[in-house]
A = this chain, B = another copy of it.
Amino acid sequence: MSISMSSASVPIFVSMLGNLSKCLAKARAHAEAKKFDPNVLVTVRLAPDMLPFKNQIQIACDSAKLCVARLTGTDAPVFEDNEATLSELEARIAKTLAWLESVPREKLDGTEEKQVSVPRRNSEPLKYSGEQYLKHYALPNFFFHVTTAYALLRHNGVDLGKADFLGGR
Contact = CB atoms under 8 A, between A and B. Distances in A.
Interface string A141-156: 1011001101100110
A46 B3 contact: no
B110 A1 contact: yes
Nearest to A143: B143
B2 A3 contact: yes
Interface residues of A, number: 40
Contact of A143 (B11, B137, B147): B147
Interface of A: 1-5, 7-8, 11-12, 15-16, 46-47, 50, 109-110, 112-113, 126, 131, 134-137, 139-141, 143-144, 147-148, 150-151, 154-155, 157, 162, 165-166, 169
